[in-house]
Structure formats: C-alpha cells, structure tokens
Amino acid sequence: MEKIKVVVGTCEIGDEISGQKITRFGKTWTEKRASRKYFKGQLWEPCYCGQEPIYMSCDGMCEKCIHRSYGTDTEVCYAYFN
C-alpha cells in the first residue's frame, strides 16, 4: 500500500497506519460523508441508481447515494507512505 485516503486533521506525518509511516500528504478536496448510523441492514439488491448493496435504514439506498443525500462536507486527502 503506498497511499490511503484520510480525513484531514486525523493524522500527522510520522503516524503509522497498518504498520507503515506516513511520509507526506497530498492535496485536499471536499467529499460528502454520511454518519455510520445510515449504514445498517445491508441487502444485495440494486439501488435506484443501479449500485449494490443497499441499506434498509435509508429506504434502500446504496452507499454512494447515502453520502450524496445525507453527507456533510468533509475535507479529505491522500496520506502517502515511503
């Protein structure tokens, strides 16, 4: 693994993730991120957008649609190793 997406401010250079030290961070961008409370009761059926699986707690929406509908703007970036 040479990079992983992280929420800005949750880690620093030198922190370890899965046994690898972070050496730098990339540019930041904003994504919609929904709370984990929306991801309960997974079913392998298609969402109205065609993605699988869906979650019963959100009237049969997939992860992408839940983030888009219920998410808040969150700053993220890639943390690089080595």
What pLDDT shows up at residue 82?
A: 80
Position 75 pLDDT exceeds 90: yes
What pLDDT digit, counting tens, does each position of 5-64 carry? 999 999 999 999 989 999 999 999 999 999 989 888 899 999 999 999 999 888 889 999
Measure Cα distances from 35 to 10, 24, 26, 72 in Å.
Answer: 16, 27, 24, 9
What pLDDT shows up at residue 27?
A: 97
- d(C-alpha 42, C-alpha 53), whole Å: 6
- d(C-alpha 80, C-alpha 48), whole Å: 36
Q: Are 53 and 62 in contact (CB under 8 A)?
A: yes
Q: Are 18 and 33 in contact (CB under 8 A)?
A: no
pTM: 0.71
